[in-house]
Amino acid sequence: MNIDRVQFLTVPVSDQAEARDFYVGKLGFDLLVEVSGPHGPFLMVGPKGAETGIVLVDRAVGGLDPATRVHFQLSTSDIDADIAELRAQGVEVGDAEEMPWGRATSLKDPDGNAMGLLEASGYGNWPR
């Protein structure tokens, strides 16, 4: 096999502009691609320097079940600072919890898609 990374994952959203503003404006992601596509706008965001992007697909155009939700995990080097910054921007985010693999919390985007935020311990620092 020649698979070496995840290129992108798809997150269904009800409003691409609102989702873009959340991921870029509140999480600090880069806007990687925003072009017209054969099935409507193609919008991809991602953490600065990441090799994996997140495609924010319009549920109505993408033919996705409205109940579809995803969960993904983001890594951070300073979970406390990120929690403080997110809360300052009005994002509801839990306190960091100690886990064997590091300190973790969770939050949701405007469509209810869940994401974890992890400051990894040596055990949870994969892959690097």
Residue range 53-96, pLDDT digits in tens: 998 988 777 666 667 778 788 889 999 999 999 999 999 999 99
Please name each of the domains of the chain with its CATH number. Answer: 1-65 (3.10.180.10), 69-128 (3.10.180.10)
Q: How far apart are CA 113 and CA 67, in angstroms?
A: 10
Question: Are 86 and 26 contacting, i.e. CB atoms less than 8 angstroms apart?
Answer: yes
Q: Is the pLDDT of residue 125 over 80?
A: no
- 48 or 68, which is more confident: 48
Instruction: Read off the pTM.
Output: 0.75
Q: How far apart are CA 3 and CA 17, in angstroms?
A: 32
- 50 or 18, which is more confident: 18
What pLDDT shows up at residue 81? 95
What pLDDT shows up at residue 128? 46
| 3-state secondary structure at position 24 | helix
Element (H, E) at 74: strand 71-75
